[in-house]
């Protein structure tokens, strides 16, 4: 495709777009502790590729009868390695995954999802 200047002559070629391939970090390994009041998630891993650094983690939660969540629970990546979910309905089974978020030369890249964890608030003793 050729573009034209106002006088009708062909314009010069534009700059070529360049894009680097970003290698995402490895997926974290997820585990959970379940109590009558909350589900406490813990994870490890999420190793960045050669030119990156982990800036945090995104938590995804869905009910067992729903499609996978498209947006994380958190507004920005969580810097630590645990998350306590207190916003739970009793008797509902939730499914969680975690994704590491890495800064790769200015581009924020998520890892593949962690293993899935299912949890239901336990009944009080």
pTM score of the predicted model: 0.78
- Report the C-alpha gap between 116 and 29 in whole angstroms: 9
pLDDT single digits (tens) 38-47: 999 999 877 7
Q: Is 92 within the bounds of a domain?
A: yes
pLDDT single digits (tens) 21-57: 667 888 899 999 998 889 999 998 777 766 678 999 9
Q: What is the CATH number of the domain that holds 114?
A: 2.60.40.10
Q: Is 42 within the bounds of a domain?
A: yes
Q: What are phi and psi of 59, to 5 degrees?
A: -105, 130
Residue in 25, 21, 87, 96 with CA at minimum distance from that of residue 56: 25
Q: Is 125 within the bounds of a domain?
A: no
- Report the C-alpha gap between 58 and 33 in whole angstroms: 18
Q: Is 107 within the bounds of a domain?
A: yes
Which stretch, 45-49, 57-61, 102-106, has highest mean pLDDT? 57-61
Range 120-125 average pLDDT: 77
Number of separate domains in the chain: 1
CA distances from 19 to 83, 109, 110, 123 (A): 34, 14, 17, 52
Q: Which domain holds residue 107?
A: 28-120
Q: Is 50 within the bounds of a domain?
A: yes
């Amino acid at each position: 495709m050729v573009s034209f200047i106002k006088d009708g002559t062909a314009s010069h070629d534009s700059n070529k777009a360049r894009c680097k391939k970003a290698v995402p970090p490895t997926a974290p390994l997820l585990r959970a502790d379940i109590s009558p009041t909350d589900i406490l998630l813990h994870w490890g891993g999420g190793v960045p590729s050669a030119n990156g650094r982990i800036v945090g983690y995104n938590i995804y939660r869905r009910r067992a009868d729903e499609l996978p969540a498209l947006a994380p629970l958190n507004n920005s990546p969580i810097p630590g390695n645990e998350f306590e979910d207190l916003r739970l309905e009793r008797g509902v089974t939730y499914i969680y995954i975690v994704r590491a978020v890495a800064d790769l030369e200015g581009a924020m890249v998520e890892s593949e999802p962690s293993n899935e964890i299912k949890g239901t608030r336990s009944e009080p003793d």
